[in-house]
Chains A and B, each alone.
Chain A
C-alpha cells in the first residue's frame, strides 16, 4: 500500500511542530529559576489556594456528575418516553456551547438577582462569585463526559445476569448494587475521571461566575493568565507544568482503568 512515508512524515511533522515542541517549551521553561524557584512559584499561598480550588471543585463536581450522570444515562438507555432522543442529543450541549457563553449565562442565572440566584439568596445561599459558583460551572461542563461514556456500555450490558438475580429472588435494588453497578464501575470511573480532568483545566465557563477573589475563588488557569500579565513567564509555566503533570498522571490512570475494564469484559 502506498503513502506510508508521506502520511507518517506529515503526521510527525505536524504533531511535533504544533504540539510536542510547544509542550517541550512549557516543560523546560520553569527550570530557569532552578528547582527552588519552581517550588517557590507554585507554593505561594495564592497559587496554592488556586490549585486547591481547581482540583477540589473539579473532584466534587465529578463526584456529583458520577451520581446524576449515571441516573441520566440509565433513564436515557433503559426507559422509553417521548422526546428521549432530543434529551439525549441535548446532553452534548456543554461540548458544543462555547465556554464563555456558558460562563456569562451561569453567572447571570446565579447572580443575587438571577432566576436561580434570587431564591437562593433569600435562603442565605450565595453561589455566584464564590467557590460554589466554580462548582456549578464544573458540573455543567462535566456532565456529558459521564453520560456519554456510560451510555454505550449500559446499552450493551446483557440482561441475563439481572434476570438470573431476579429469578434467585433479588430485589431490583439488590441486583442493581450487586450485578449492574459492579459491571458499570470501571466505565463510571473512566467517565468521572474524564469529567475531573476537564474540570481541573476549565477556564471559560468558570471565570465569569467565580468572582476571582485572590485566595478565595481564583482558579489555577487564571493564575497562569495573571502571571503572564505580570510578564512572569517562568512562573506561569511552572503552574502550567503542575497542571500538565497532573493531567498526564490522569491520562495514565485512565488508560490503566480502560485496560482493567477491558480485561473484565
Chain B
C-alpha cells in the first residue's frame, strides 16, 4: 500500500493542518532565526572577502580575538572544575541544604548580564567596597583582564554543573562505591570510574560554557571600560566598530563569532545524536 492510501490514524493531524503548521513553524524560524544569521554573513562580505579578512587582521581586532580566547581559557576550566566538584558533592552524598545548594548554583542564569557585571563594579569599581584600597595599591581588577574574567565566570557559572548533576544522580553511586571498597583512592575513583562515565556530558557542558564565554556582551561591557586594543573582547569590538559606522568591519568580526556559534551548534547536535544516553535524559529529543 502506498502511504497516500493508508488510512489516517486518529491521532494524526489532517494533511492540510500538517502543511499549514509546518509552513508557520518553518516560516517563523526563517524570519526570526535564519534571516539574522544570513544578514551577518551577507553584510560581512558586502565589500568582498579581502576587506572582511583585512578587518580581522587589524591590530585592535587581533587583540580582541586574543583577549576573548584568553578569557575563555581561564573562565571555562575554572567553571568546569567547579562543576565537577559541585556535581560530586551533590550526587555522591546526602546532606542538609542540598536542594538549596543546587538552586543557588543556578542563580547566575536568572540574573541579567548587566547586573552580573554590576556586582563586580560594586566590589572592585572605584566607588565599590574595595575600590579605594585597590587603587592605593595599584591593583587593577575592573577595566582590566581580571574583571572581564570574573564577569565571564559569573555568567557561565552553572553550565557544566547543570549538565553533570542530573547525569551523575541518574548514574548513582554503585560503581564508585565498588571501586572504593576494592581499595581505590578518591582521586583514582574519580579518574578511572566517574570521568569515563561523564566525559561526553562534561564536554557538552564545556562546549556551551565556552560559547557563552567567548560571546558574552552585557556583563563584560560593564566591567571592561572599553579600552580599544586592551580590554575590548570580540563582541565589544563589534560594538565599537558598529558605533563607528564601520559596518563591514563590524560584521566581519560578527561573522567570525557567528561561525564559532555554528561550529558549537554542530558539535552540540552531534553529541546529542551520538551520545544522547550519556549526556543527560533531558537532551534526548
Contacts and interface: CB of A to CB of B under 8 A. Distances in A.
Interface of A: 1-4, 6-8, 10-12, 14-15, 18-23, 25-26, 29, 68, 71-72, 74-79, 81, 85, 87-106, 108-109, 114-116, 136, 139-140, 143, 151-152, 155, 159, 162-163, 166-167, 172, 197, 200-204, 208, 220-222, 224-225, 228, 231, 233, 236-237, 240, 243-244, 247-248, 250-251, 255
25 contacts: A7-B85, A14-B78, A79-B22, A89-B272, A92-B265, A98-B254, A98-B257, A101-B235, A101-B258, A104-B242, A105-B254, A108-B39, A139-B32, A143-B32, A162-B11, A166-B11, A172-B17, A204-B217, A204-B235, A231-B127, A240-B118, A248-B110, A251-B106, A251-B107, A251-B110
Contact of B40 (A4, A10, A105): A105
A204 B208 CA distance: 18
Contacts of B205: none
Top 4 A-B residue pairs of the complex, sorted by shortest distance between their CB atoms = A201-B112, A98-B215, A166-B10, A2-B186
A224 to B, nearest CB: 5
A247 B126 CA distance: 28
A81 B261 contact: no
Contact of B176 (A1, A19, A163): A1
Nearest to B263: A96
B247 interface: yes
Contacts of B112: 200-203, 220-221, 240, 243-244, 247
Contacts, number: 291
A15 B36 contact: no
A155 B118 contact: no
B197 interface: no
Contacts of A2: 180, 185-186, 189
B238 interface: yes
B73 interface: no
A233 B35 contact: no
Q: How many interface residues does chain B have, given as a range?
A: 35 or more
Interface in B1-58: 10-11, 13-14, 17-18, 21-22, 24-26, 28-29, 31-37, 39-40, 43
